[in-house]
Chains A and B, each alone.
Chain A
């Protein structure tokens, strides 16, 4: 009897494994397809260009770690990195402040024209960047902000504001009205209610928009290439493109630059992916 039960249990276990095999195979395939290129770029980042052309998929032996120092100083990736950090940092800060306040107002208050304001802001999500780039170029040129970091910051804020407001409004609207009524009766002003109630409770969603905006803007290329021309103002995506000449391709340095560019995004996702997922799903329930 015990032996029969043991055999039955073993068969159940094997059947369980068998049922999970297609999913496992899919996951392995997916990991190879998405992770494989990243691994390849990582290996190329510590190999020289001739070594790569000689053996594209070879292992990095010897590993040229000095390439990162050269990229940072000689190839000016350090400058591009700080430009990216300034532009994206300022844009994300402005998006968070303006977006959270706008979302709070749209979620909590009914005022004349609120529907129009909501449509006006959210319609920005529908238009593709390619449609806006020329007019944005003209406007920045007119205001003397073309080929400047502040101009790029303004462009980034204007393009990402709709998504920020959309995510945050959805989350803020779920907060019970009673919380705000209670705070009003306790004597708090509307700004204090936003600062002490909405923001602390809405922090998961706010954090999500910070991470999302950072990832999107860190990798942004189109606006940067159109609105910046000076080499010392370039952001990282433009800096990497710098190594793609008409007649030659410094693959090794491109890979090194890519790793410098990817590193902050990877770190951010590695540490904050839980919060990102929670915030996305919380904001999605309207």
Chain B
């Protein structure tokens, strides 16, 4: 059992003007696959290295199964880490790389041999045990790095962007392999990435970070459907969520959000949450997949007038790059065929039930009550 608890974790490097990690609080449940997701420089790798014991902690606490590990040396934390560069020792064979960590821990030689063979069989590395890293492909090296972590049988796995050096096709297969191994082993895992596809497909939960701070934690689809602020809304999703400057108004029919060229009823919000935004600015968010070329009379679809700038035919779908009447760029994801051409006026339809409203000052989402 391994529950990782992070409480108000902070990191400030010497000479830095501000914290690289700001009051990070997070609990990773036993056996959970937690993904730390964010852009470069957001502090996710720093946080991971503090958990690993490779960086000192400025303040805050990290605990495994309730045992604080702030002052426990990295080697005694029972954590195995897979690095972005794999960190394979180039002068050792695959077998020696796998066994290296065990030799130091006085594991008997027959046991080391057994574990190395088991892990090699599990990961398909048996034919390569006598090879050195330079004679392996990228995918094989990645598996050796994973094997070196598995052979230690630790309480926690830490992954620092292990797939970023692989090509796109290999990334997909290796991603699935990693998830499969983690589910079979049931080891608590913290995985750092900047790739949202990895985060969405691999994590039980994702923790999104920006500027050193935790912005949102939740299940992938939950975070995708209910982003906490405009940063999360734009970071998750490709193409990102469209954000338009709008005004909120109260009409007889209810709350309405207005943009030049359209007005859209908003439902599901508590009046007290919207009260301070009435007749004031809000940010309207709508995902590209919630824009349609035809309304088909559906009551929840409302028109929005746009001008087509570019049509990207991707085969399985089409992306329309458009300009709204506000002058802002929006992207619509529609079916595989489109009759639109650059320069056309496109009257699209927006799904009003999928609208998100954000405070334009704090950028935080205005929460729906139902």
Contact = CB atoms under 8 A, between A and B. Distances in A.
B368 interface: no
Interface string A180-212: 011111111000100001001100000000000
B135 interface: no
A186 B85 contact: no
Interface string B73-95: 01110011101111101110000
Rank and list the top 8 A-B pairs by shortest CB-CB distance, nearest first.
A186-B101, A187-B75, A178-B87, A182-B87, A187-B104, A178-B83, A200-B91, A178-B85
B244 to A, nearest CB: 44
B132 to A, nearest CB: 12
B54 A184 contact: yes
A213 to B, nearest CB: 23
Contacts of B86: 178
B89 A187 contact: no
B52 interface: yes
16 contacts: A176-B85, A178-B84, A178-B86, A179-B89, A181-B81, A182-B81, A182-B148, A185-B52, A185-B79, A186-B100, A187-B75, A187-B101, A187-B104, A192-B104, A201-B89, A201-B91
B303 interface: no
Q: Which DSSP category, helix, strand, loop or mixed, fits chain A's interface?
A: helix
Contact of A188 (B54, B104, B148): B104
Contacts of B104: 186-188, 192
Chain A interface residue bracket vs B: 10 to 19
Chain B interface residue bracket vs A: 20 to 34
A238 to B, nearest CB: 41
Contacts, number: 49
Contact of A185 (B74, B90, B91): B74
Nearest to A201: B91
A179 B81 CA distance: 11
Interface of A: 176, 178-179, 181-188, 192, 197, 200-201
A200 B100 CA distance: 14
B54 A185 contact: yes
Contact of B105 (A182, A184, A187): A187
Interface of B: 52-54, 74-76, 79-81, 83-87, 89-91, 100-101, 104-105, 148, 152
Contacts of B81: 181-182, 185
Nearest to B14: A110
Contact of B53 (A183, A185, A192): A185
B89 A197 contact: yes
A181 B54 contact: yes
B162 to A, nearest CB: 11
Nearest to A182: B87
B87 A179 contact: yes
Nearest to B103: A186
A181 B83 contact: yes
B75 A182 contact: no
